[in-house]
Amino acid sequence: MRPRQLAAAFIVVAAPLLAGCFQTSTLVKLNPDGSGTLEQTTTMTVKRLAALQSLAADAGDKDKADLSDLFSADEARAAVNKLGSGVTFVSADKIDTPERKGIKAVYAFKDIRTLTLSELDTPAGAEIGVTPNTLVDFTFTKLPNGHSLLTIKNDSDASLGNLQTEENPDMEAAAFAEMKVVFAIQVGHLVKTNVPYVNDGTVTLLSVDVDQVLADRASLQKMRKASSVGGAKAALHGVKGIKVSLDPELTIEFSK
């Protein structure tokens, strides 16, 4: 997948989530031969789900008014067709607690270079407009020393110029509250990477905690005004709630 304007985290990941403020985690577990699994976990608070159902009912949207099966195993199984060639469906487990509802879907892929991902997928029926078309292109090679190298191209024209949310702070907070998005890659033994966000063998390419970001209005305004990679880096420096690398090429070298 190619993280065009990956720095513009909100415009990429938030637009399709405004309907209910999901929390989504995408984890790619990569093997040294380029195969692996993709785990996508999406949840929503019970309170938010009830509010979304109420809004849909008030708006007369019959298709969205009944969201009892919003997190559908059948939809997760069908989503394999959008993930690229050589990808197979493994499992889908419902998440059902007193606080949150959701689903964890697992897929297997033979070659990460054929994996096709958007930043995240919302459950069927929950989209309200823009669907992310920002894709990531993975390049995978075996090095002479026996290590594996994953390279992710990051467009050099990335900017935060399109990072626009509601101008009304109260509406903004209400729409985005509780939203979290994480996209990470996990390898066996990490040798080196230029991505600064590492925990053992897990490299986080994108992490957004909207509640933390919206709590800092000054930083949010700086991000909105940034129109270059340099400006984006400066705007993101020290901002709580956002982890993203703006380097033009992201690399992860690893072994078994």
Place of tokens 């989530």: 17
The overall average pLDDT reported for the chain is 75
The per-residue pLDDT for range 70-112, each reduced to its tens digit, is: 688 888 999 898 898 999 999 999 998 888 888 999 999 999 9
Integer-rounded Cα Rg, in Å, for the chain is: 18
pLDDT of residue 135: 53
Say if residues 95 and 71 touch (Cβ distance below 8 Å).
Answer: yes
Which pLDDT score, from 0 to 100, does residue 204 have?
94
pLDDT digits (tens, 9 = 90+) for 32-43: 999 999 999 988
| Residue 132, pLDDT above cutoff 90 | no
Q: Identify the sign of the CA torsion 177, 211, 208, 130.
A: positive
Q: Which of 47, 53, 13 has the alpha carbon at shortest distance from 179?
A: 13
Q: How far apart are CA 137 and CA 113, in angstroms?
A: 7
Predicted TM-score (pTM) of the model is 0.78
